[in-house]
Structure 1
Amino acid sequence: MTAPDAGTLDADLIRSRVESDWNRIVELLSRKIALQSVSAKGITAEHMKRSAEFVADELKLVGVDAKVVQATNEDGTPGAWEVIGSRIVSPDAPTVLLYAHHDVQPVPDASAWNTDPFVATEIDGRLYGRGSADDGGGIAIHSGALKALGDDLKVNVKVFIEGEEEMGSPSFIPFVSAHKDEFAADVIIVADSGNWAADIPSLTTSLRGNTTVDVTVRGLKHPVHSGQYGGPILDSNTLAAMLISSLYNENGELAVPGVASEEPVGGLQQDVDETGVRADAGVVDGYVLAGTGSLASRLWTKPSLTVIGFDAQPVEGSFNVISPETRFRLSLRTAPSQRPEEAQSALMDYLKRSAPFGAEVEVEAGENGMGWAMDPNAEATKDALEAMEEAFGVAPINQGQGGSIPFIPELQRLFPDAQVLVTGPEDPKANAHSPNESISLPGLKDNVITEALLLDKLGKADK
């Protein structure tokens, strides 16, 4: 890649510019929170259009030729209100796509909040409000970084601010496919993840994929009395429990042939703190965490299986009968680099051939989502890590994510030559999707500085 100018801007100069623009950045985020951009109330609704228009107007203020476009779902129905735009500095410069989303999670119970969820409230260096971190913070980072660079910007910038990420992005692929020229880039920065801590930066190195299967276990053709037939005939709930338990070894690790396991991508700089995990998850005192190896690998890159649905007779109203069949749903989080279809097939094959006592087992395939793994050796990765250390003043501690963000591997599939970087405004105290969501303001400032430095590095003439 080549750029129109050489050299990099001084980190102190960038910090000074961000400091001068700081009130505007916080005000932007505060106004965004007040818009109540809850996509669950209707991705095509007027409040979501207003949210998109607000973001587009803010991007125009920092030099982006932005516009609001309504997506179309695969079935042809109207989709989300999306924001796309660009700022082109030179046909010879590298191109960077900046991603964030403007929709937010609902607030089912405002009484669970300590503040009004849609009024930005600063307390002890954190700004509270729904969408403050997820992903209003991402929008603020992009805006602040572009403002800080100003006329010193040396890369072409394309912007996509999505309007339905919290709803699973149903019109994402049709929209991107219809606007490929407006998405094509050398580097894609997805600002929708988080840092190790508010004062310790991270690149997200990997995301697990996911797949689901529905399983029916049948031991009888009809219910029978437990006193008359119990003993030689096991109820289907017990058979289902036996089948599920057979998926694990003695250490509580998933042990299904063909379901892959990986170690943390790019190496492990620091393991996850078990005390923090136990406290955050509400683990009971006597429970021993399952699995072996680093806790990070168990959370980020090794597969995990969860029974997310189980059809059984409720305790209230139960009676002495042997249940003939039981249905349950399994959700499998797959290693970042394994195709979910491959893992799903291996799981289905195992379930079918492992029926306890010869019971009938039927397995129905569900949806799949591909995982993603960062290229730790890419030039953009090295630039990002350098920018983080310069901005935060400490070395990054990279981390994977155990969950899935399906559109990231889809972006990588559509643009296979692009280097993808996953950054973001969150930290362990952000409470995204939960009551009292917040963003660290010092952390946000360092994130803005990081992205400005990164964009400057990506535009160096020797790239």
Structure 2
Amino acid sequence: MNARELRDRVDALMGRARADLAALVAIPSVADPRQYPPEKCDRAAQWVVDRFAEAGFDGLGLRRTSDGSNAVYGERRVADPGAPTVLLYAHYDVQPPLDDEAWRTPPFDLTEVNGRWYGRGTADCKGNIIMHLTALRALRGEIPVNLKLIVEGSEEQGTGGLEDFVTRHADLLRADAILVCDTGNAAVGVPAATVSLRGMVNLVVGVEALSSEVHSGMFGGAAPDALAALIHILATLRDDTGNTTVTGLDNTQTWTGEDYPADRFRADAGMLDGAYLLGDGTVADMIWARPAVTVLGIDCPPVVGSAAAIQPHARARLNLRVPPGMDAVKAHEALVGHLHAAAPWGVHVSVATEALGQPFEARTGGPAYRALASAMRDAYGREMTSLGQGGSIPLCNVFADTYPDSEIILMGVEEPLALIHAPNESVHPDEIAALATAEALFLQRYRGKQL
């Protein structure tokens, strides 16, 4: 079947795709029992089971993972003993809405505005579940490869349930090609495979200078100020241009894939007029190839209600993104050493590490990548490009370690305007349609290592 015929089938299915996405978005499946009842995630998981059963999958069911979440697993086998196996991945859990007042539409009510579909999870990652379903429906059972499905329920919480499940059930999920559908394209209509992910280090740095608060009028000028000391330490993490300057980390690496034009980045990031881009590299260098420190939060007295007192202690939560080619353990050691060395005035510094994840770099050029590139080209009418992603998906490293011979492909319906994790998340329906066409073509064309 050619691309035009498949796209016509997909287009005819888009009304159903919208209805399905609306039903799934309406389920507030936030995997945090402190905010949302776990029954909502259970309901979303069962919705996935029911829909993929209709698509011809067998053995569908919920697999409890070590963090208490449920992953949906199922299979669809073909008679050909030489057929390769493709694992389809997505996740049904979503980020919380965050600031309800910042949403222009109800977060759990799919709403169309200017051609885009708004709602929490429309892109990340329920839109990818709908993309999988639409591709399978368009093929009408004409699928020459074995399929496995895994849809997890705690990806956004980062609690590692599926990562642990993979290592404990390696044979269950083993596949020749793994489609990790939780990333996206360079822009609407610009097909891409994500080939690298930055790793990360999350930690909390604390500063102590005094045994208690003291009056700033009586002691200020001689007594060390913990908050000022923390500000001094944080200021050493970047130079005047905005480059990350953690002692021992290389901040000169360059990106060799698809460029990210500065003007488009400015618009995508919502930068204010007059604000400068950070760093002395290109945008792609800075967000995909180099380390980057972000101050996520600071514990200190708020402005309203603050007293004329010198602060005895303060702390900040930091996130370090670690690019491919750099070891996250060594990057963590470098950051901790830098924080201690930068402390002024003899204040006491403590560091509590929260999380650490290695960067990921996909192997490209194999039969799965060649088949995907061909499918993307025919579905979009232009060549597939390669992107990096500044975020981290630890599951990809687990897949790579567990299945060293498998090709891992990162793709999906997200793109910069989707505003994933932020208020007013949305997906462009053209991305669901085009990616569904590309995935359907891929499943028809992929022949494993025989290709």
Report the counterpart of residue 38 of structure 1 in structure 2: 30
Question: Which whole-Å deviations, capped at 9, do the CAs of 1:331-369 have from their partners, x for residues lacking one?
Answer: 211113433222111111222233324433333333112
Choose which of 288, 298, 304 in structure 1 pairs with 2:292.
304
Question: Which whole-Å deviations, capped at 9, do the CAs of 1:248-299 have from their partners, x for residues lacking one?
Answer: 334221122332447566x2332x2333433443433333222111111212
Name the stretch that deviates more: 141-150 or 200-209. Answer: 141-150
Report the counterpart of residue 367 of structure 1 in structure 2: 355
* 1:145-184 alignment, distance < 5 Å: 145-184=135-174
Could you tell me whether the CA contact under 8 Å between 1:43 and 1:81 is conserved in 2?
A: no
Could you tell me whether the CA contact under 8 Å between 1:40 and 1:105 is conserved in 2?
A: no
Report the counterpart of residue 76 of structure 2 in structure 1: 87
Separation in structure 2 between the aligned mates of residue 277 and residue 397 of structure 1, nearest angstrom: 17
Report the counterpart of residue 5 of structure 1 in structure 2: none
Could you tell me whether the CA contact under 8 Å between 2:88 and 2:148 is conserved in 1?
A: yes
Separation in structure 2 between the aligned mates of residue 111 and residue 327 of structure 1, nearest angstrom: 29
Q: Give 3-state SS (helix, strand or coil) of 2:164's partner.
A: helix
Could you tell me whether the CA contact under 8 Å between 1:260 and 1:343 is conserved in 2?
A: no
Shift of 1:193: 1.4
Return 5+ residue gaps in structure 1 as ranges. Answer: 1-8
The one-letter amino acid of 1:10's match is: N
Choose which of 55, 64, 78 in structure 1 pairs with 2:57.
64
Report the counterpart of residue 239 of structure 2 in structure 1: 249
Q: 1:185 to 1:360 in 2, by over 3 A?
A: same
- Whether 1:14 and 2:2 are equivalent positions in the alignment is no
* 1:39-438 alignment, distance < 5 Å: 39-41=31-33, 45-73=38-66, 79-89=68-78, 90-107=80-97, 112-261=102-251, 263=253, 267-270=256-259, 272-438=260-426
Could you tell me whether the CA contact under 8 Å between 1:264 and 1:400 is conserved in 2?
A: no
Q: 1:307 to 1:146 in 2, by over 3 A?
A: same
Question: Which whole-Å deviations, capped at 9, do the CAs of 1:354-388 have from their partners, x for residues lacking one?
Answer: 33244333333331122212223333223322221
Separation in structure 1 between the aligned mates of residue 213 and residue 36 of structure 2, nearest angstrom: 45
Separation in structure 2 between the aligned mates of residue 236 and residue 461 of structure 1, nearest angstrom: 60
Q: 1:433 to 1:331 in 2, by over 3 A?
A: closer
Q: Give 3-state SS (helix, strand or coil) of 1:152's partner.
A: coil
- TM-score using structure 2 length: 0.89
Separation in structure 2 between the aligned mates of residue 34 and residue 198 of structure 1, nearest angstrom: 25
Q: CA RMSD in A?
A: 2.7
Return 5+ residue gaps in structure 2 as ranges. Answer: none
- TM-score using structure 1 length: 0.87
Q: 1:316 to 1:57 in 2, by over 3 A?
A: closer
Shift of 1:327: 2.4
Q: Give 3-state SS (helix, strand or coil) of 2:247's partner.
A: coil
Question: Which whole-Å deviations, capped at 9, do the CAs of 1:407-452 have from their partners, x for residues lacking one?
Answer: 2222222222221111111223323333433222222111101111
* Percent identity (aligned): 37
Separation in structure 2 between the aligned mates of residue 461 and residue 215 of structure 1, nearest angstrom: 49
Q: 1:10 to 1:281 in 2, by over 3 A?
A: closer
Q: 1:439 to 1:219 in 2, by over 3 A?
A: closer
Q: 1:247 to 1:432 in 2, by over 3 A?
A: closer
Report the counterpart of residue 4 of structure 1 in structure 2: none
Question: Which whole-Å deviations, capped at 9, do the CAs of 1:234-260 have from their partners, x for residues lacking one?
Answer: 422222222222233342211223324
Number of equivalent positions: 449
Q: Give 3-state SS (helix, strand or coil) of 1:292's partner.
A: coil
Could you tell me whether the CA contact under 8 Å between 1:68 and 1:81 is conserved in 2?
A: no
Separation in structure 2 between the aligned mates of residue 318 and residue 442 of structure 1, nearest angstrom: 51
Could you tell me whether the CA contact under 8 Å between 2:84 and 2:448 is conserved in 1?
A: no
- Whether 1:25 and 2:17 are equivalent positions in the alignment is yes
Question: Which whole-Å deviations, capped at 9, do the CAs of 1:171-202 have from their partners, x for residues lacking one?
Answer: 22332234322211111101111112221111
Q: 1:105 to 1:228 in 2, by over 3 A?
A: closer
Separation in structure 1 between the aligned mates of residue 345 and residue 98 of structure 2, nearest angstrom: 45
Question: Which whole-Å deviations, capped at 9, do the CAs of 1:313-345 have from their partners, x for residues lacking one?
Answer: 333444444334332222211113433222111
Shift of 1:124: 4.1
Shift of 1:151: 4.2
The one-letter amino acid of 1:370's match is: Q
Separation in structure 1 between the aligned mates of residue 56 and residue 330 of structure 2, nearest angstrom: 45
Question: Which whole-Å deviations, capped at 9, do the CAs of 1:202-240 have from their partners, x for residues lacking one?
Answer: 111222111123223344455555445544544222222
